Structure 1
């Protein structure tokens, strides 16, 4: 049987913060784009506006989620233990709205920077988030909240 102290210390074991993962892949993608000198072409003008919109949307959702974490008195940091589940706001339509928002910002920056090579790096970014971060978090949340989280998983999709 797990002692209460041991259970409190149980975490998702995500050692690299997800924003760092996203930033590293974005930086590599932008650097590759710079050296390869690729561009979106004629469509680039309107893509800049789409990119700005995606960035704004992403940051607004992240801010909204941060407020919900504060209201629920639980940590937004993925390497710490959760005290409460959040099922309202963006968490009502995505189990991972912050990671979804990070991907929106990633794609938005790729568009505004006219960087199709950077956009290609959204694929390994998604894979790193899905299989390194989200897989660990889901296993942790199943341990931490049990049937409550399983019920939430059955109602709300992983991404959208």
Structure 2
């Protein structure tokens, strides 16, 4: 049985801003590193690679943000979406902001030089997928119907 979307409400997500899931993983990884160091090594190459990776993630996240703003809709998951964005970064990924944040996360892990954030990365992605992306996708399916189904069939969730 499908639940009807409330006309003035967005996805039914927990009121935690999605970037905080990534920040929590990095903070937990850094804390674990202080308790039981698990150094990546390869300095300074890993710092440069991490910074470059974070830069790519920032571009992807920024592309998603600017795409949403350009279509005069919202980046806040629990707010009502005005339009389905399928251009720009949204041609590459249905979730360029979350994908970009995931790439930034890995870049930061390389910069700080700890394997712990990398070990926690799958748990962060699983939390984002279950607590944010799934509810958003259900909402977009209810809100945009066949247009979202066609977009979903054409564009991958992450990359």
Q: TM-score of the superposition, structure 2-length normalised?
A: 0.92
Whether the 8 Å CA contact 1:19–1:102 is kept in 2: the answer is: yes
- Between Structure 1 and Structure 2, how many residues are aligned? 154
Per-residue deviation at 1:69? 1.2
Match of 1:111 in 2: 110
Whether the 8 Å CA contact 2:11–2:80 is kept in 1: the answer is: yes
Partners of 1:82 and 1:116 lie apart in 2 by 37
Partners of 2:65 and 2:122 lie apart in 1 by 26
Whether the 8 Å CA contact 2:9–2:78 is kept in 1: the answer is: no
Per-residue deviation at 1:7? 3.7
What are structure 1's unaligned runs of at least 5 residues?
Answer: 1-5
Partners of 1:127 and 1:19 lie apart in 2 by 14
**Which secondary structure state, in structure 1, belongs to the residue aligned with residue 44 of structure 2?**
helix
**Which secondary structure state, in structure 2, belongs to the residue aligned with residue 121 of structure 1?**
helix
Match of 1:3 in 2: none
Per-residue deviation at 1:153? 0.5
The alignment yields a C-alpha RMSD, in angstroms, of 1.3
Per-residue deviation at 1:11? 1.6
Is 2:41 the counterpart of 1:35? Answer: no
Per-residue deviation at 1:72? 0.2
Q: Output aligned runs, 1:123-138, within 5 Å.
A: 123-138=122-137
Partners of 1:75 and 1:85 lie apart in 2 by 11
Match of 1:68 in 2: 67
Whether the 8 Å CA contact 2:63–2:96 is kept in 1: the answer is: no
Q: Output aligned runs, 1:39-54, within 5 Å.
A: 39-41=39-41, 43-54=42-53
**Which secondary structure state, in structure 1, belongs to the residue aligned with residue 7 of structure 2?**
helix
Whether the 8 Å CA contact 1:44–1:111 is kept in 2: the answer is: no
Match of 1:94 in 2: 93
Partners of 1:105 and 1:57 lie apart in 2 by 8
Is 2:22 the counterpart of 1:19? Answer: no
Deviations 1:81-100 (A, max 9, x none): 10001111110011011100
What are structure 2's unaligned runs of at least 5 residues?
Answer: none
